[in-house]
Amino acid sequence: MDIDPRRLRVLRAVALRGGVMDAARLLHLTPSAVSQQLSLLEQEVGLPLLDRSRRRIGLTAAGQLLAARAERIEQELAEARRDLAALSGRVSGPVVVAAFPTAIRHLLVPAIVAVTRSHPDVRPSVVELEGPEALHELRTGGVDVVITEGDRPPAELPGLAAHPLADDEYRIAVPSNWAPRTVRDLGELPWVAAPPDSACGAALDRLAAKYRFTPVRAHTCLEFPAVLALVAGGLGAAILPTLALADVPAGTVTVTSLPVGGARRLTALRRAPRSGPEPVAATLIDALHEAAHAIGLTAGVRPGVDPRGV
């Protein structure tokens, strides 16, 4: 029998994404085109590959077998791309990166500019995405690199490699007309607090415990631009990472030198196939390291750091 390897790639996408609709989005095809390719593949092998008896389509035993073979073929192709890139020094192809806003502005944009200047055949695409959804997209092939907070991939998502980029230290920002000399001077003043389960929220809890005060959580806000607007309006102090303060206009808030302690670890995650990293993903991660270094951020060795970066 003749098996079209392009149709095996479609079957692999269905296996990774768990259905025809998500596979179509991954492959930039219509669902009907995916279904057509699968039907043709079934005709080629003479066996049903999809179990259509359930509400959510799954793979039959034959489908699972072929999907596993398709994965092995994809690994061989990835190894070929890596060897060719090493031989020629030429890196090309698409790379999709998911990140959160401060990482996009201060790390990802400079990295992409550098990569596309030295490797014009690289085609980058940026998605503002974080948390479990970003990790799901990475694991199932929707994105190639995720910039996240934490030291390592979660234990429940094996097969990922972590590349520490920077330790982004926490700072205290206050309204421009405040002049606190010590952390205790802020003990009875209002705070623009992040939610307790966030990295900045936990940093405030640590600070309050260390200096023995109960913060007045006058406002609760997670997004950094909104937090800074409240601080600039004189409505409270806030703890933010250094990157979030990089674009603050002069005179709107005061970034104090008061000690906070702790930092969020910015990490680039990629899939870790046996064949090694895809050249285009590895090249982008190298550029992210350089972008972090260019703005004075480095990733120190901090064993046992909480994965929330606190």
**Percent of the chain scored above 90 by pLDDT?**
47
Q: Are residues 124 and 182 in the same domain?
A: no
Q: Are residues 126 and 239 in the same domain?
A: no
Q: Are residues 68 and 98 in the same domain?
A: no
Question: What ranges make up the beta strands (E) of the chain?
Answer: 50-51, 58-59, 93-99, 122-128, 145-149, 160-175, 190-193, 216-220, 238-241, 253-255, 263-271
Q: What is the pLDDT of residues 233-289, one digit of tens each?
A: 999 999 999 999 988 888 899 999 998 888 888 999 998 877 678 899 999 999 999
Res. 301: pLDDT tops 80:
no
Res. 13: pLDDT tops 70:
yes
pLDDT at 83: 77
Q: Which pLDDT band, with edges at 50, 70 and 90, does 302 fall under?
A: very low
Last residue of a domain, one of 83, 114, 135: 83
Instruction: Summarize the confidence of residues 54-71 as an average pLDDT.
Output: 84
Q: Are residues 74 and 109 in the same domain?
A: no
Q: Rounded to whole angstroms, how far apart are CA atoms 6 and 12?
A: 10
pLDDT at 24: 87
Q: Rounded to whole angstroms, how far apart are CA atoms 82 and 101?
A: 31
Instruction: Summarize the confidence of residues 106-113 as an average pLDDT.
Output: 96
Q: Give how far the C-alpha of residue 111 lies from the chain's centroid of Cα atoms, to the nearest Å.
A: 15
Phi, psi for residue 71 in degrees, rounded to 5: -65, -40
Is residue 67 in some structural domain?
Answer: yes
Q: Which pLDDT band, with edges at 50, 70 and 90, does 152 fall under?
A: low
Domain of 64, in residue numbers: 5-83
Please, what is the Cα angle at 194 between 190 and 196, to 5 degrees?
Answer: 110
Is residue 308 in some structural domain?
Answer: no
Q: Are residues 215 and 289 in the same domain?
A: no
Q: What is the mean pLDDT of the chain?
A: 87
Is residue 309 in some structural domain?
Answer: no
Q: Are residues 246 and 206 in the same domain?
A: yes
Res. 299: pLDDT tops 80:
no
Query: Two tokens at 303?
Result: 């064993």
Q: Rounded to whole angstroms, how far apart are CA atoms 287 and 191?
A: 37
Q: Are residues 248 and 268 in the same domain?
A: no
The one-letter amino acid code at 199 reads A
Res. 156: pLDDT tops 60:
no
Q: Are residues 161 and 219 in the same domain?
A: no
- Rounded to the nearest 5 percent, the helix, strand and coil shares of the chain are 45, 20, 35
pTM of the full structure = 0.78
Res. 196: pLDDT tops 80:
yes
- Pairing type for strands 58-59 and 50-51 reads antiparallel
Which tops the pLDDT comparison, 104 or 198? 104
Instruction: Summarize the confidence of residues 190-197 as an average pLDDT.
Output: 92
Query: Two tokens at 291?
Result: 């972008």
Res. 37: pLDDT tops 70:
yes
Q: Are residues 188 and 147 in the same domain?
A: no
Q: Are residues 276 and 159 in the same domain?
A: yes
Which CATH number covers residue 181? 3.40.190.10
Res. 310: pLDDT tops 50:
no
Instruction: Give the count of domains, the chain.
Output: 3
DSSP annotation of 189: S
61-88 helix and 31-45 helix, angle to the nearest 10 degrees: 110
Q: Are residues 31 and 117 in the same domain?
A: no
Phi, psi for residue 216 in degrees, rounded to 5: -85, 100
pLDDT at 1: 67
- Looking up tokens 């050249």 gives 279
